[in-house]
């Protein structure tokens, strides 16, 4: 599985710069203006969470300072303004994903809760003994553990689509894994470790032909590339706001309306009801049937501001920028002796995520050194993907993830930090 490279070091000529004005973009993010020990921050932990632009921060502050009130229930001006902003964020999310209706957009705490909602409300209603749920070997725990719990409870089976040695999925093997017993295919759009962009459209077509539904974990795709849920033809699509410049604690579950209409509620309580009697209750309209209690109003508004920011820049431009950075990072890292890269070598087959190991340096030690020496923030560990680590035959990797505010200079700093770590450990 590891990909050891013999590629030469980069020459003086670099690829033409993408169209983003990264210097201007960086000024939009207050935290990136901070220095530690006289050195700028090189933030490369974007798959874990992204930084927030001033416009998002200001939108949240403005809510609390000017129209803080609960939504849907109040007949006074502040409540009307809060409701309009909250539901306005839902419409922005619908447009961002090209969903057919705001009825299909449920606000959650993030991708993890979104997938658990699907597993609980849909899975417990429609998965039975002997059924199969199909996932890949590269899934994040959030798109694996809920299904493990469900199949154990229902006496169903969890099956795996294997990954190839280059970190990709063989479409023929994926389709072959779909059987008449398959009730659900749950697949990550983009691997948070390998960066692999999976062939979701083709898999969805095969799954639907077999009568199965399709859930897409979009945590690592929605922030980085255009997403059209109707073109993907998925039944569920989950994302986290904090991975796309929005606050933590806000996420989205898109559900195709024809599927959503058949699902029982996830949580019970206020706002998800129409009428409550002593012995039963009836449910609110979609999507509020799945949003019990006071929602995360401020952070939903923050998500709407983040969507405005990203669409203003352009997801196509962000995607091209990350492809160029990933290509450059693979080139630079491949030229460093003892570096092992994981995932596809073609930058267009992956998103801006590069996982690697350096000789026998533990990833945690490497991350500590590059941070202490050069303020380079990378992730180290199993990345909530332990079955994939087992497939790679490693306990952990280091991971650098790029976003719209990263530059080739950030990659150079990472490489410089790796060289210093090699000198310390004499690798």
Closest to 390 measured CA to CA, from 75, 137, 27: 137
Contact 340, 333 (CB under 8 A): no
- The two most distant CA atoms of the chain are separated, in Å, by 76
Residues 6+ apart with CB under 8 A from 204: 185, 214, 232, 233, 234
| Active-site annotation holds for 201 | no
Cβ atoms of 139 and 383 closer than 8 Å = no
Phi, psi (deg, nearest 5) at residue 409: -60, -35
Catalytic residue among 201, 234, 245, 384: 384
Give CA 226 to chain center in angstroms. Answer: 13
**Which run of H or of E encompasses 252?**
strand 251-255
Length reported for the chain: 427
Q: Are 80 and 74 in contact (CB under 8 A)?
A: yes
Q: Give the C-alpha separation, 360 to 161, whole Å.
A: 30
Q: Could you tell me the two tokens for 97? A: 């994903």
Q: Can you give the C-alpha Rg of the chain in angstroms? A: 22
340 HSE (CA, 13 A, CB side): 17
Name the β-bridge partners of 389.
none
By annotation, the residues acting in catalysis are 384
């Amino acid at each position: 599985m590891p990909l050891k490279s013999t590629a030469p070091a980069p020459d003086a000529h670099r690829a033409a710069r993408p169209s983003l004005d990264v210097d201007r973009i960086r000024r939009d993010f207050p935290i990136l203006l901070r220095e530690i020990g006289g050195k700028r921050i090189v933030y490369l932990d974007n798959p874990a969470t992204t930084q927030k632009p001033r416009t998002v921060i200001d939108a949240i502050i403005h809510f609390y300072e000017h129209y803080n009130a609960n939504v849907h229930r109040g007949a006074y001006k502040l409540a009307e303004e809060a409701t309009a902003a909250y539901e306005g964020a839902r419409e922005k999310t619908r447009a961002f994903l090209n969903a057919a209706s705001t009825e299909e957009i449920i606000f959650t705490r993030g991708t993890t809760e979104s997938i658990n909602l699907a597993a609980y409300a849909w899975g417990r209603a429609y998965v039975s003994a002997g059924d199969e749920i199909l996932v890949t070997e590269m899934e994040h725990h959030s798109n694996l553990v809920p299904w493990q719990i469900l199949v154990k409870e229902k006496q169903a089976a969890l099956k795996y689509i294997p990954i190839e040695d280059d970190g990709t999925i063989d479409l023929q093997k994926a389709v072959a894994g779909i059987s008449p017993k398959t009730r659900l295919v749950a697949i990550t759009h983009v691997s948070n470790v390998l960066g692999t962009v999976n062939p979701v459209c083709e898999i969805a077509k095969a799954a639907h032909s077999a009568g199965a539904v399709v859930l897409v974990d979009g945590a690592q795709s929605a922030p980085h590339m255009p997403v059209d849920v109707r073109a993907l033809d998925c039944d569920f699509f989950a994302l986290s706001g904090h991975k796309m410049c929005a606050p933590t604690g806000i996420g989205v579950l898109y559900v195709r309306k024809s599927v959503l209409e058949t699902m029982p509620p996830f949580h019970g309580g206020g706002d998800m009801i129409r009428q409550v009697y002593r012995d039963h209750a009836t449910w609110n309209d979609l999507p509020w049937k799945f949003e019990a209690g006071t929602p995360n109003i401020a952070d939903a508004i923050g998500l709407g501001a983040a969507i405005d920011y990203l669409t203003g820049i352009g997801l196509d431009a962000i995607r091209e920028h990350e492809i160029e950075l990933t290509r450059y990072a693979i080139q630079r890292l491949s030229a460093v002796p003892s570096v092992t890269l994981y995932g596809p070598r073609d930058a267009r087959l992956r998103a801006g995520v590069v996982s690697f190991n350096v000789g026998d340096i533990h990833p945690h030690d490497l991350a500590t050194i590059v941070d202490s020496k050069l303020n380079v923030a990378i992730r180290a560990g199993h990345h909530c993907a332990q079955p994939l680590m087992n497939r790679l035959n490693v306990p952990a990797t280091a991971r650098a993830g790029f976003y719209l505010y990263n530059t080739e200079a950030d990659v150079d700093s990472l490489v410089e930090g790796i060289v210093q770590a090699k000198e310390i450990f004499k690798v």
